[in-house]
Structure 1
């Protein structure tokens, strides 16, 4: 499959064994560490803009937790997550714009990064809605598993084990599926005037072709998000911008372009 991409014209929309996609490159297993390093460099070069976006990413889960503690109404989590899924792609687009501006030798600005959100707004909203639908489906499946499990059997860890195993397997399947869909879709939509289906299937294809480095990258993302939660979301102020910048560099490495970029 990788050989097929090397033989096709760069940036041509081609027919692959999976779907209609933009050709991808082969990644090395160590590339995710390089992306993380480049993301950190971008953060250090634009600390004020980075912290602005980081504060938003940290404020959202903190606000959700605050609402739950204030009202005691856990159902507030669902509409809050839905809202986050709708605005998350736009926040990420702002971070990608900062890295893109740095690579082009421009001076990034908060205003320019916010305006970048409008570059492909229709498909950006479509992506947000897609994430929202997937998340709602995930939550409903989790609720169904919980509802079907006999409450009277919860007496020990041993009795809980089948429930925990089933829930973990289902959760892992959803996580893997979400990673395939989201890995490169957002930066593709921001940089290129393509439709949502093309961006999603390009992302799926690129992850499939580069399974080892991409799942290494997924492990890094999981670890950094876990650190953010352990630190009471404060870690998100720094970690989320770095992840956003690093994701842009991953996109640059992974997806073919029509002509060679004049920057690294």
Structure 2
């Protein structure tokens, strides 16, 4: 039988339809996963947080040179964002941009979970093994959650800008000193803080509830994004105090890491990343 080339339009439509079905199947698998059981989640205590931090420091000291080299990228990104804010006249966004690290921090720590996992199993590991997260069982769910947190971060920036416009009337600032003077010395500046700080807390709380366990779970097992997020929310329900305390620890680590010139993030981020893995291992059976 003679094979012929079909109409280009029908051929294109057929292949686009096939690609669409494959994408839909991949997205469905990313959400539902291979393992159809919700991970068993246990309540955590403040002692678990201390133990996780201690284990995180221990992992950091073990992988010190490897993780510092891998995490030097984050201070560089932060400095670039700061440079953008200073040079483009968007000083009001400087704090929201930097504080937003808390929203996307779990994405930055993905490779560190893999290092802690390998060390826990008694396997050797170097910084290049952070890339093994690309072969994680739940990588599809990881991508979707990372995209979601990225959108959440963008929404926070937009919200912060609207709060500034509403309270400060679109004021322009020639330098950092004039901006700080306007924030601390005017009624509009105080109103901006009264609205903006609780709003930022709400954004951070939602991100924490969705991601405290999700990424480590998806690195470890293919339960799907929906079950991973459900496990994170379940932990928030079981241990609201310790989970909020963990969020405060993360914020404190990011603040400390911001001095000087964000270079400390090359130390605090790895410690928090490794500690997150150990907190996950204490929370999920």
Which TM-score bucket, shorter chain as reference? 0.7 to 0.9
Give the TM-score, by structure 1 length. Answer: 0.78
Quote the RMSD (CA, aligned, Å).
Answer: 3.0
Pairwise CA distance, 1:64: 2.0
**Contact residue 221 and residue 243 of structure 1 kept, 8 A:** yes
- Between the aligned partners of 2:201 and 2:106, the Cα distance in structure 1 is 22
Give the count of matched residue pairs: 234
Q: Which moved more, 1:210-219 or 1:159-168?
A: 159-168
Give the TM-score, by structure 2 length. Answer: 0.73
- Between the aligned partners of 1:137 and 1:148, the Cα distance in structure 2 is 16
**Residue 219 (structure 1) aligned with residue 235 (structure 2):** no
Give the equivalent residue in structure 2 for 1:244: 273
Change (3 A) 1:165 1:182: same
- Between the aligned partners of 1:108 and 1:24, the Cα distance in structure 2 is 28
- Between the aligned partners of 2:145 and 2:106, the Cα distance in structure 1 is 7
Does the residue aligned with 1:230 lie in a helix, a strand or coil? coil
Pairwise CA distance, 1:90: 5.5
Max Rg structure:
2
**Contact residue 119 and residue 125 of structure 2 kept, 8 A:** yes
**Residue 169 (structure 1) aligned with residue 198 (structure 2):** yes
**Contact residue 32 and residue 217 of structure 1 kept, 8 A:** yes
- Between the aligned partners of 1:86 and 1:220, the Cα distance in structure 2 is 14
Give the equivalent residue in structure 2 for 1:207: 236
Give the equivalent residue in structure 2 for 1:72: 88
Pairwise CA distance, 1:68: 4.0
Can you give the 5+ residue segments of structure 2 that lack an aligned partner in the other structure? 1-34, 172-181
Q: Any idea what the Cα deviations from partners look like across 1:139-183, whole Å, max 9, x if unmatched?
A: 222222222235399794445433321112211111111111121
Pairwise CA distance, 1:127: 1.1
